[in-house]
Amino acid sequence: MTIDSTALATLEKQAIELPSWAFGNSGTRFKVFGTPGTPRTIQEKLSDAAKVHELTRLAPKVALHIPWDKVDDYAALRDYAANLDVTLGTVNSNTFQDDIYKFGSLTHTDAAIRQKAIDHHFECIDIMSETGSRDLKIWLADGTNYPGQGDIRGRQDRLAESLEQIYARLGDDQRLVLEYKFFEPAFYHTDVPDWGTSYAQVSALGDKALVCLDTGHHAPGTNIEFIVAQLLRLGKLGSFDFNSRFYADDDLIVGAADPFQLFRILYEVVRGGGLDDDSPVAFMLDQCHNVEDKIPGQIRSVLNVQEMTARALLVDRDALSAAQNAGDVLGANAILMDAFYTDVRSDLAAWRESRGLPADPMAAYAASGYQEQIAADRVGGQQAGWGA
């Protein structure tokens, strides 16, 4: 099986947004290991992200997290990014690290605290207007640890009211994506635990509100591709946070833990029109690199998405639906598996070369001298997030 020209045209347009925080040092609650060359500023994070894009042409946008990436002049940051041939993407809000949000943010019982959280989102929307970003991504740590601790129903109602105010502030070309996560940091209940809750909340808001699906935010065994198919069918899949997991919200390199799952997800994306020109779906990474180098970690990630997209595009959909309609269980399964088992790496390498890109972006990065340069230039790099 080879990748045909229609598939190559789709692959050529593929864009995967990188998270600024992936370039900072991160770790577990046990230890954050430092890495030579870690960026000290958002400008340095942008230049690292631009390197990933330069070598792959897959990563033209960088997502910001506020306040981690706060600056005085966002118009200047926008220009800075443009000079590096990248643009500023999704703005992620953050109501999970301040003491006042200990018992919730948009769901809090105290109207003054809810207002503070709403104001933070207003600030994010103002930033989006300056950076030219389309999407506001909201992930809430809100939830409880013990049965009875909070009024689950009341919290939903307050969430809906808070989101309504944030939604009303969006510009015509701006959107809100609501991310769900089944647990953590709250362990008994989370206020937006699943796609159904996110869907119910964003549906009440309007067309500019959609669901964000983070692949690491489901219970083990969840059929994520089914959720993808359903949200695409409903026109409410706004974005992906791609990463992979073995156990909880591991934030490992996408496609590392279960390449087949990534293939199945991307097949449903293709099937549901998620790669079409008018698709509402934004593709983002939400990863942290605890022990591996960050820039090659991001290069590996976007290449994994590209490879699995290429394999998903190889599925012979006519033959598949014929087999499905004929009740040919094993035939249909074989058609899907044939595409999954096709190694597209050498075809993609040749295609990259034909476009003036390195055949092997990982090797090209290692040979570029960039890592040595940043290690020498940057002293005292940042932690992802909290140290930023």
Where along the sequence are the contacts to Mn ion (CB under 5 A)?
Answer: 214, 241, 249, 286
Q: Please, what is the minimum distance in Å from the beta carbon of residue 79 to ligand PSV?
A: 26
> Measured from the CB atom, is 250 or 293 closer to ligand PSV?
250
- The span from the CA of 18 to the CA of 60, in Å, is 8
User: How near is the Cβ of 19 to Mn ion at its closest, in Å?
Assistant: 8
Q: Which residues contact 305 (CB under 8 A, 6 or more apart)?
A: 14, 16, 58, 242, 254, 255, 262, 266, 283
Q: Which is nearer to ligand PSV, 19 or 60 (CB)?
A: 19
| Shortest Å, Cβ 243 to Mn ion | 7
Taking alpha carbons only, the member of 230, 365, 373, 209 closest to residue 296 is 365
Helix (H, G, I), strand (E, B) or coil at 144: strand
User: Which of 254, 313 has the CB closer to ligand PSV?
Assistant: 254
With CB under 5 to 8 Å by kind, the binding choice for 92 among Mn ion, ligand PSV, none is: ligand PSV
Residue 44 near which of ligand PSV, Mn ion, none (CB within 5-8 Å, type-dependent): none
Residue 198 binds which entry of ligand PSV, Mn ion, none, with Cβ cut-offs from 5 to 8 Å by kind? none
Q: Which does 199 bind (CB under 5 to 8 A by kind): Mn ion, ligand PSV, none?
A: none
- CB-based burial of residue 377 (10 Å sphere; 0-12 exposed, 13-18 middle, 19+ buried)? exposed
Which residues here bind ligand PSV, judged by CB under 6 A?
Answer: 92, 139, 179, 181, 214, 241, 249, 286
268 contact choice in Mn ion, ligand PSV, none (CB below 5 to 8 Å, kind-dependent): none
**By the 8 A CB rule, do 277 and 12 touch?**
no
Cα gap 316→314, rounded to integer Å: 6
CB closer to ligand PSV out of 175 and 181: 181
User: Cβ 287 to ligand PSV, closest distance in Å?
Assistant: 9
Residue 214 vs 347, nearer CB to Mn ion? 214
Say which entry of ligand PSV, Mn ion, none residue 371 contacts (CB below 5 to 8 A, set by partner kind).
Answer: none
Q: Select 124 or 310, whichever has its Cβ closest to ligand PSV.
A: 124
Comparison of 48 and 347: residue with beta carbon closer to ligand PSV: 48
Contacted entry of ligand PSV, Mn ion, none for residue 25, CB cut-off 5 to 8 Å set by kind = none
Compute the least distance from the CB of residue 96 to ligand PSV, in Å.
Answer: 8
Instruction: Quote the CA–CA distance of 226 and 19 in Å, as a whole number.
Output: 26
* Minimum distance from residue 72 beta carbon to Mn ion (Å): 27
> DSSP letter string over 165-199?
HHHHH--TT-EEEEE--SSSS-SSEESS-SHHHHH
Burial of 169 (C-beta count, 10 Å sphere; 0-12/13-18/19+)? middle
Taken as a whole, the chain contains a residue count of 388
CB of 68 to ligand PSV, least distance (A): 9
Minimum CB distance to ligand PSV smaller for 101 or for 139: 139
Output the furthest CA–CA distance in the chain (Å, rounded): 64
Distance CA 294, CA 310 (A): 24
CB 230 → Mn ion: shortest distance, Å? Answer: 19
At 63, list the tokens. Answer: 């997502």
Q: End-to-end CA distance of the chain, in Å?
A: 46
Q: Residue 139 — φ and ψ, nearest 5°?
A: -125, 130
